[in-house]
Structure 1
C-alpha cells in the first residue's frame, strides 16, 4: 500500500485531518491503487500521511459509511469489493435518483450552467489521465444535479457514484468506452440546453443503463475467469 503518490494532490484541499485521510484513501481506491479485499493497516496509513491513528480511524469510518471499506472483527479494515449483482443494484438505485435530480434541476439551468458543462466535456475530450477523467465525469453530472437544491438527494447520489467509480474507470479504460460516453453526455446536455425534460431524462437513463450493462458484463466475465483459473490451479 502506497498513499504517498495521492496525498500531495489532496493536502491543500482539506482542513480537517479525518477528511484528508478519507479523501486520500478514497482517491487511492478510485484510482485502483488499493484493490478490493486489500487490508488497510491503520498504523501504516497514519505513518504515510504523517498523522495520528485517531483521525485515520475517523476517516476510515467515513469511507465505511460510503461503502468503500469495511471493518471486520480480527481482520481489521478491508477495501470493499462489489459483485456484478451489487453493481446492478446500485445502478437500479442511481437511475431514478439521478433522473429525479436532473428533473428538479432543469427549471433552474442557465446559459452559464450550460457553458460550464460544455467546458467540462471539452476538458474530458483532452484528458488522458484516468483519475482526472473520473473527477471530470463526476463534475459534469454533479454540476447539473446541484441545481436541484436537494442536499440529501445529492449526498445519496454521490455515495452511490463513489461505490462504482473505480470499476467504471477500469471499464472505460479497458474497453475504450470514452467516445461513446462523451456522445451520450452531449446528448444529455443538448436536451438540457433546450429545457426538454423528457429528452434529457431519456438520454440520462440510457447513459446510465449502458454503463450498468457494460460494467455488469465486465465483472461477470472477470468472475468467470477467476473461477476458471482457480479450477485449473486445483487440477494441477
Structure 2
C-alpha cells in the first residue's frame, strides 16, 4: 500500500520482524528504523489513516507511535500535513551538538563516581561491537548505547531523557555521515579514552575528552554541510 507521497508502507510492515508486546511499539519500531536508515525520506508525511491500514491496527496505537517519534525528534507536526519526517539541516545539527555539549559532560561527571566494573565492561563491549560492525544503522544504535552506558548513573532521569533525545536526533546525522563519508570517519580513540578516565575516576579528564569528541564531530559535520 502506497500513499499519495509514494512510500510503500506495506513493504515496511513486511520487514518489521517479530511483533513486540503492543501494537504501538511495533509501529514505532518499524517507523523509527525506516526513518533512521533513510528508507522514509525527510519531508515524507506520515498519515495516520494510511499507517493504520498498512499495519492493520486502529489509529490509536499509530497516534501513540507518532507521538513517541516526535518526542525523539524524528518527526515534526506541521499545519495541514500532520506528522512529517524531520529534515536534515546544517543548523539543526549544529544546534544538536551545542545542546549535547551542554548536557553530556554534566551527565558524565555525575555518573562516573557511581559506575561499576560491570558498567565499564559493558561500555568496552559496545566499543568492540562498533569495531566489528559494518552496518551504518547498527553503528548509530551502538554509539548511542555506548554514551548512555557511561551516563546511566547520573541520578537525574530528566537529564538522561534530554540527553537521550539529543543522541537520538544525532543518530540520524551520524548514520547519514557514515553513509556519505565512510566507516573510517568514526574514530574510537575518544571512546576508549573516556572509558579509561572513567575507570580511573578522573572526572576532569573524562569530560575534557567528551567535550573534544563533540567539538571535533561538530566541526567535521559543519565542513561536510559546507561542501
TM-score (normalizing by structure 2) = 0.87
Cα contact 2:178–2:186 (8 A) shared by 1: no
**Counterpart in the other structure of 2:169:** 163
Distance 1:149 1:23 in 2: 28
Cα contact 1:84–1:217 (8 A) shared by 2: no
**Residues 6, 105 of structure 1: alpha-carbon distance in 2 compared, 3 angstrom cutoff:** farther
**Residues 164, 5 of structure 1: alpha-carbon distance in 2 compared, 3 angstrom cutoff:** farther
SS in 2 for 1:147: coil
**Counterpart in the other structure of 1:63:** 69
- Which consecutive residues of structure 2, in runs of 5 or more, have no partner in the other structure? 1-6
**Counterpart in the other structure of 1:134:** 140
**Counterpart in the other structure of 2:29:** 23
**Counterpart in the other structure of 1:97:** 103
Q: How big is the shift at 1:116? A: 1.4
Cα contact 1:184–1:207 (8 A) shared by 2: yes
Q: How big is the shift at 1:197? A: 1.0
- Which consecutive residues of structure 1, in runs of 5 or more, have no partner in the other structure? 222-236
**Counterpart in the other structure of 2:194:** 188
Q: How big is the shift at 1:5? A: 5.7
Distance 1:218 1:31 in 2: 19
**Counterpart in the other structure of 2:211:** 205
**Stretch moving more, 98-107 or 19-28:** 19-28
**Stretch moving more, 149-158 or 34-43:** 34-43
Deviations 1:23-82 (A, max 9, x none): 321221111111111122323322332211221122112222332212223223211113
SS in 1 for 2:105: helix
**Counterpart in the other structure of 1:173:** 179
**Counterpart in the other structure of 1:225:** none
Across the two proteins, how many residue pairs are aligned to each other?
Answer: 218
Distance 1:213 1:160 in 2: 17
RMSD of Structure 2 on Structure 1 (CA): 1.9
Q: 1:125 aligns with which of 127, 131, 137?
A: 131
**Counterpart in the other structure of 1:87:** 93
**More helix per residue: 1 or 2?**
1
Distance 1:132 1:170 in 2: 12
**Counterpart in the other structure of 2:3:** none
**Counterpart in the other structure of 1:4:** 13
Distance 2:54 2:135 in 1: 24
Distance 1:216 1:25 in 2: 28
Distance 2:72 2:126 in 1: 26
**Counterpart in the other structure of 2:45:** 39
Distance 2:96 2:75 in 1: 16
**Counterpart in the other structure of 1:116:** 122
